[in-house]
A and B are shown apart, each in its own frame.
Chain A
Amino acid sequence: MGNADMQNIITVRDCWMSFAGKEPGAEIHVLEQVNLDVVQGEFVCIVGPSGCGKSTLLNIIGGFLEETRGEIYVENAVVNGPDPGRIFVFQENGVFPWLTVEQNIGFGLLSRPETERAERVKHYIAMVGLNGFEKSYPRELSGGMRQRVEIARALAADARVLYMDEPFGALDFLTRLKMRSDLIRIWQAEKKTILFVTHDIEEAVQLADRVLVMTKRPATIQEEVKIDLPRPRDLDSSGYLAARDRIFEIMGMDAHGGGG
């Protein structure tokens, strides 16, 4: 921010999301006065405890929910529903089970000429390492492979922005590590803007340029932690550990799980 050649892609100003409470007049604020900025090509993680509203915030930015109050601009326009240039990757996996891997990846390309579509599908199948699985159905794939299909589908459709809502949450530990390093590789090659929501602090520090820490009460972005570390990241380096512990501290506990 402040740098003239960096263009703001996502701008959220004073965003509130409220529901009517049980008692008349009582309002439950899922989000309170949220502000955030993401610049072009940036990888930003929103981290917070479950139920803090981070997923709600991502759904508002993605155009699937409407905020109660506030201003949300993405790519210089007010958000008015979902947009094919900005694709959401879902935790529960939005890959269509009735289509093969290549049909799924080509889903967003049906308006393009046949040859271009086939080329792009082939390119992104290779990028996410699914060669040989073109004709497979999602039920024949592992959870990690299905998430790769969903990411490839977003990339193939030429999405400029990816919204990722705990996309690796349902995967086992080793698969998650592999998916993170693959995502970083793809992000570096494709220069997309990524807004990534997770409850996993380690994941956020491994991935992001910046981590936005959300808290439950109040439901807002408490603090921003810049992760100015080279990639691939050394998970034992003092810089990594310091950033991780700083986020633990903001969320009100130490790195060993104790309360603060």
Chain B
Amino acid sequence: MNRRVLHIVLPLVTGALLLTSWHVAVKLSGSDIFPTPQQVLAGLGELAQQGLLLKYIVASLFRVSWGFIAAVLVGVPLGLILGWFRPAYAALNPFIQILRPISPIAWIPVAILWFGVKDTAPVFLIFLASVFPITVSSMAAVQNMQQVYLRAAQNFGLGGLELFRRVIFPAALPQIITGIRIALGVAWLVVVAAEMIAVNSGLGYLIIDARNAGKRYDLVVAGMVMIGLIGLVLDVLVRRLEKFDEVRWGYGQR
């Protein structure tokens, strides 16, 4: 079997098996709360008809976009500076390493205190979640940069901003993009958690609202499915960045 067929047929077979087991398991258990795949599909249809599905997806994507773009705008320059200037690294890195392991979920009460239950709170949480992976990967990218590029650039008389723009940044870019990809995954995880508490729209809100307002588990699972599918689409989109000629050299043989 050729590779392309393998990569289409096998996932379809696995998917069919999983859906069947799901269906059979629900039927065997006799549960009338947990939905079968058909009920979930019906739930999605219901949401789409009410116009809520698109509205919630847009709301979630909107929050992710703002928090994530802010994280890129802060994280990439900050990481480049920390990677290049030793005093900046010495002064700030310990605190980045202390803040980094604190789950964004732990910041939820603080976010509510600072921003109230408005859009700003989840945007802030997404920013927090994604700024650290972006900063750390940008920093490591500069620190791990091959010395030979730096020497060649210095040999041609480059210094200051020119050195940054023409050599350090392009040399670091493949690893920066990898950090951005990881950060987007984390951001998407966090938006759902943030919406469960602070706001009244979005896929996270859908899940918690469907549970609270009448145990609509078909809608709960429908929300989960949408989160998974959109997460996949986001990852595929960011992976496309890795195909550009300017960065492809940085990813080995693929």
User: Contact at B155–A92, with CB atoms within 8 Å?
Assistant: no
Can you list 30 contacts pairing A with B, beta carbon distance less than 8 Å? Answer: A64-B151, A64-B154, A82-B154, A82-B157, A84-B155, A84-B157, A86-B155, A87-B156, A88-B151, A88-B152, A90-B151, A90-B152, A92-B148, A93-B148, A94-B151, A94-B152, A96-B149, A96-B167, A96-B171, A97-B249, A97-B250, A98-B171, A98-B245, A98-B246, A98-B247, A108-B156, A137-B248, A139-B248, A139-B249, A157-B156
Complex contact B155–A88 (CB within 8 A):
yes
Interface string of A51-93 (1 = CB under 8 A from B): 0000000000010100000000000000001111011101011
Residues B173 and A94 in contact, CB atoms below 8 Å apart? no
Q: Chain B residues near A92 (CB, 8 Å)?
A: 146, 148
Chain A residue nearest in CB terms to B169: A98
List B contacts of A86 (CB < 8 A).
155
A107 at the interface (CB under 8 A from B): yes
Q: Which of A62, A64, A88, A137 contacts B249 (CB 8 A)?
A: A137
In the complex, what's the smallest C-beta–C-beta distance from A162 to chain B, in angstroms?
11
Residue of B nearest to A59 (CB): B151
Query: 8 Å CB contacts to A: which residues of B140-167?
Result: 146, 148-149, 151-152, 154-157, 167
Q: State the Cβ distance, A170 to closest chain B Cβ, in Å.
A: 12
Closest residue of B by beta carbon distance from A100: B245
A48 proximal to B (CB < 8 A): no
Say yes or no for A167: interface residue by CB 8 A criterion.
no
Contacts from A to B (Cβ < 8 Å) = 62, 64, 81-84, 86-88, 90, 92-94, 96-99, 107-108, 137-139, 157
Contacting pair B148 A82 (CB below 8 A): no
Q: Is the interface of A mostly helix, strand, loop or mixed?
A: loop
Contact partner of B152 among A96, A98, A137, A139, CB < 8 A?
A96
Cα A94 to Cα B245 with chains together (Å): 18
User: DSSP majority for the B interface?
Assistant: helix
Q: A90-B148, A96-B167 are in contact. List 4 more A-B contacts (CB 8 A).
A: A88-B152, A94-B152, A97-B250, A98-B246
Nearest Cβ in chain A — how far from B98, in angstroms?
34
Q: Considering the chains assembled together, what is the distance between the CA atoms of A98 and B171 in angstroms?
A: 7
Nearest chain-A residue to B162 (Cβ)? Answer: A110
**Smallest CB separation, A75 vs chain B (Å):** 15
Expressed in whole angstroms, the Cα–Cα distance for A81 and B249 within the complex equals: 30
CB distance from A185 to the nearest CB of B (A): 24
Q: How far is the CA of A94 from the CA of B156 in the complex (A)?
A: 12
Which 9 interchain pairs have the tightest Cβ spacing? A94-B152, A97-B249, A98-B170, A84-B157, A82-B155, A94-B148, A108-B156, A98-B246, A139-B249
